[in-house]
Structure 1
């Protein structure tokens, strides 16, 4: 009877061992399937995010081309008028040369001035179209920024937006320049600050201009991702007086900032970028006369 009990006990232990092994294998299989499902979901979410981002990017690129074509058309009209004046003046010089050589000489000087003006208009056209030609679609409005903010929130940024002053209608190229600066700034905040970074965007409208500010807390965000909180974040992000002074005097460059500065300068804007020690990065763009600036280095398209 004792021998039977021992055999039964050994059988029970063997059954339990087999059952435990089976449960372990099942748990491993379920874990693998769950991880695969999670990766698949993450890939799908990433694809949706990339698709939405690409849609906005293509919309802005095409609208930017539309803005170029409009400027080319207006500058072309100006150039045609200039060449027409040249033809008339040249005809007058030809007739004057027969009866009054001195008057003809004076007319040649005016003809030279008109020719240089026409050449300047043609060079401006060349500057506008140098990026190439492509199909275009209607210009997005400032409300399209909400799509941009939503995509960046889905990517992990905590984006807030405030606006003050009386908004006025922007010219097509100016609006696109502001969009591109916002887009690049948010991309940089996500790249350098990482998910969880808080970004505060502000528009301040003045009588004739606009000030855009983009401030993030990428330095503190990095500390929070390390699992720190409260006073621990404050201690981890402490900075020295030298770092504070360097932030006030250091000039930041790079392909992204250079591109943003060029876009701002095209519409009379000045861009400043600096690190805020212990906090993150700050960028501001001031367009003092954006309401009337046409984006062709001040040339008056209405003349």
Structure 2
């Protein structure tokens, strides 16, 4: 509420300026009542109003207000009217112009103060030895007001720069949040593609097998249906886990760990159960890898096997080889299916997802038809961060 009230006052400049001009009028009251002003009461009141009245628009029209009060003071000086308390309005006008955005106009206001000090010293002489001191005192007073306005101008400019910087940082933070959200959505989209494409491919293959075997081999049909059921449950569980991160205000539960290299055995067995002949080999000593790298390895193998199921054709055979060679892991998935002759609808994201995953860890991947037929996916992933660097 205090902040809103201050914002309201900042939009009412004349009202605030009138409040700050009010003390000048209050100071002038004792002189009017005591008759110690040296001129008639009417002229004193008129002069006070002419000097303080423009101050209501001091910040709205600063240069015009300074010109008006300086002109009134100049006429007062020529007419020989003694100085009054309201002549402080000249100093207030100098301060307002000096605190404005223009340095040249502020310097001009300071010169107006110096000229006014000279005129006052000339028009209202004191003792000969005191004129110099009076001029110096008035000049120092005008210069001090100018310096105060200049300091306020600098401070306001600094505060504006701080506010602009804070707003810019806030916009940058919002943009970073949006970019992070977009990257997270892209990651979840890749995860969902891997999960859905693989499991649905297995379900389709098993459903086709069950439909052919239901009349001739009931046991095989039943086994295929069991595989469809377990695969569907697994796909549903993974989809719930991945989509769970998109729920707001969901504090309950922990998510299952992401699959890694150890789960490739289960993946191969699942694909074998769908009727695809898979050979799985591991060469070298397995190296310790981060969970993100292990997930990347698993998804590459999963996507490659899914592509073989979808595009390899009947009686296709596929081999999966992991070779740990020093600081890198080589993944090679080869099949003897249709290869370049396979149909592509152009709407797949699996290969692009593999490239993105491998690039994150400084590796490379190649996916292309084999010269002698079939398709191969070869990826190389550094097992440590310093190797990628």
TM-score by length of 2: 0.37
TM-score by length of 1: 0.46
Larger radius of gyration: 2
